[in-house]
Amino acid sequence: MKYEIKGEPMPVVICQLEGGERMISESGAMSWMSPNMQMETVGGGAGKVFGRMFSGESLFQNRYTAQGQGMIAFASSFPGSIRAFELSAGHDIIIQKSAFLASEEGIELSVFLQKKMGAGLFGGEGFIMQRLSGSGTVFLEIDGSAVEYDLGAGQQMVVDTGYVAMMDATCKMDVQTVKGMKNILLGGEGLFNTIITGPGHVVLQTMPLTGFVSTIASMLPTSSK
């Protein structure tokens, strides 16, 4: 499979497949394709379907198989970036629920639950995230631009809520209360920050969708009766 990412800030990834190669995506992610791409809706068993429902994703996925050389494109649903990551056995990644766009068939999606309840309830990334494993290329949808860091063992980064798009499964996530009542009341940063501890690769996003929606909502006129 060969691919090209183009068109930011509304990007699309265009994949060129050889005969028999397959791609999987969430429902509605395909934007255009050649007529020799065969689509099949798959669930992957009751456990996987329930897991996707539990994580807020589509109950089923679409699988596309090239009948000869074929082309398929997956476009971003929000202004931002598309990043490609190569996974291999033993190299799993954790992503925000909305980040998965498409992948080669060898990628497995599963539910990832934060081990510490506080990290999920207050960290802003959600108690439920997604774990990607297997071997192959996966395409992630990033809100805004992507900024990437490599953390060493024990190295930490303090991140405002919602800005974590992806991290290696070797990283740990926790929450930290903002210190000082004045900082909490007047600082405008909320009550909690997310703490990422290495080792591992971390991808942050510059315009979380939740923050964007909140900003737009605050500018809308309120209705009067």
CATH 3.60.15.10 for domain 2-213: no
Provide the H-helix boundaries in the chain. 46-54, 117-121, 181-186, 209-219
Calculate mean pLDDT across residues 121-130: 61
| Residue (of 142, 135, 151) closest to 201 by Cα position | 151
What is the pLDDT at residue 114?
A: 65
pLDDT digits (tens, 9 = 90+) for 82-110: 999 999 999 999 999 889 999 999 999 88
Kindly state the tokens that stand for 175.
């929450």
The arithmetic mean of pLDDT across residues 203-210, rounded, is 89
Confidence of residue 119 (pLDDT cuts 50, 70, 90): very low
Q: With bands split at pLDDT 50, 70 and 90, how would you rate the model's confidence at 75?
A: very high
What sign does the CA torsion over 208, 212, 215, 217 have? negative
- Give per-residue pLDDT as tens, 135-174: 999 999 999 999 999 999 999 999 987 899 999 999 999 8
Indicate the pLDDT class of residue 134, thresholds 50, 70 and 90. very high
The model's pTM? 0.82
Is the Cα dihedral 111, 161, 101, 92 positive or negative? Answer: negative
